Amino acid sequence: MKISLRHRRTLGRLALLACGALLLTLVLDEFFGFQLWSYDKIVPLQPLDDGDTRFDRRAVVRNMLHAPAARLVHQTWRTALVRPDQAGYVSSWAAQNPGYTYVFWDDVDSRLLVSTFFADFLPTYNAYSTPVQRADAARYLLMEVFGGIYADMDFEATRPFDDLLGAHQIAVAPEPPAHWLLYGGEPLLCNAIILSRRRHPFWAFMRKALTEAFSALGSAADTLSLTGPTVFNSAINAWRRESGRPKSDQISVLAPDTFYPIVAKWNTKIAEQCAVAVADGRTRTNICADNFTANTHAVHHWSFSWGRAGRKKQSALPLRELVPESIPGRQLIEIMMSEADQEAR
């Protein structure tokens, strides 16, 4: 079949456009970790079938509504697919905490959380310039609405959490001493894992701090100051300075080895500082050494997936294969709203 000159030119332009789109995709993925499309976006985590009898989901939420410490484990990521190097970390939460409900929040679920319970905060949430800023904000809101345990995807549970969850209103811990001592700083409380009772008043205080930080700094500000550990520590310090708070509103600061027994070994600056400290005798013990103790409940592996350069792209595993009884965040919202409506009647 003979193709006219006009058709050949059209096909040529289409081929150039296709090549350009492919090149753009490769560049964005390689240098910025951004994907124009991905197979993982078409396999969202689906709710368990109504006929599933492995556990009574509504009973779980009903009990949570009346319990001071919810036996929930929350984790968030863009989609319900897990990097292979984090698969063991994710499955460890169910293995170490039988009887807990594992709730996974993808980006759609997290936005639904905000729009359902914090409509006044939604403009700020939508205005954040990076996914990690929205992920930071979402963890604080999860603690306010549901309570329980929030943990980053690179956290590995090593012990049951009942003793911690039942003993504290809110519990956080500082990063390893090497992360701040070697730079002459003060302990930095990390937001990578948080334990909280539901509706603790600090989280409304934290929401206000997020709004004020965004108003003062704008969307171009660095993530640490806008939503991460910097604003988190500032809010906690301000909260703890205010006198007259009841004991039930206190925030517990646990020892670093509870959650952070190892340093971020990939960080060349920390590695260099550790080497210098050991060489010149500034430390009697090597504060950069692993510090696993009987108190260690979880290990942060410091993947730094939101900002680490040079990370190789990996295949992914469906989360449901790792935690078969997990439920998506949108289902937890639906159950909670349904139970709340029934209680209001």
pLDDT per residue as tens digits for the range 274-308: 777 666 655 555 778 899 999 999 999 998 655 44
User: Range of 230's domain?
Assistant: 43-344
Q: What value does the mean pLDDT take over residues 67-85? A: 90
Whether residues 32 and 70 share a domain: the answer is: no
Do residues 4 and 73 both lie within one domain?
A: no
List the single range of 4-8, 74-78, 312-316 with lowest mean pLDDT: 4-8
Query: How many domains are contained in the chain?
Result: 2
Band of residue 19 on the pLDDT scale cut at 50, 70, 90: low
* 216 and 94 together in one domain: yes
Same domain, 149 and 219: yes
Q: Exposed e or buried b for every residue in 138-172, given b needs 16+ CB within 10 A?
A: bbbbbbbbbbbbbbbbbbbbeeebeebbeebbbbb
Tens of pLDDT, residues 226-257: 999 999 999 999 999 887 888 778 999 999 99
Q: Which tens digits make up the pLDDT trace of 122-131?
A: 999 999 999 9
Same domain, 146 and 6: no
Total-model pTM: 0.81
Q: In this structure, what CATH number is given to the domain that contains residue 259?
A: 3.90.550
**Are residues 21 and 59 located together in one domain of the fold?**
no
Nearest CA-CA partner of 157 in 89, 87, 60: 89
* 110 and 230 share one domain: yes
33 lies in the same domain as 55: no
User: Are 109 and 13 in the same domain?
Assistant: no
pLDDT at residue 105 is higher than 80 = yes
The mean pLDDT of the chain is 81
Which pLDDT does position 239 carry in this prediction?
Answer: 95
Rounded Cα–Cα distance for residues 263 and 177 (Å): 9
Regarding whether 5 and 80 lie in a shared domain, the answer is: no
Mean pLDDT of 21-30: 44
User: Within this chain, do residues 239 and 154 fall inside the same structural domain, yes or no?
Assistant: yes
Q: What is the pLDDT of residue 248?
A: 79
66 and 29 in a common domain: no
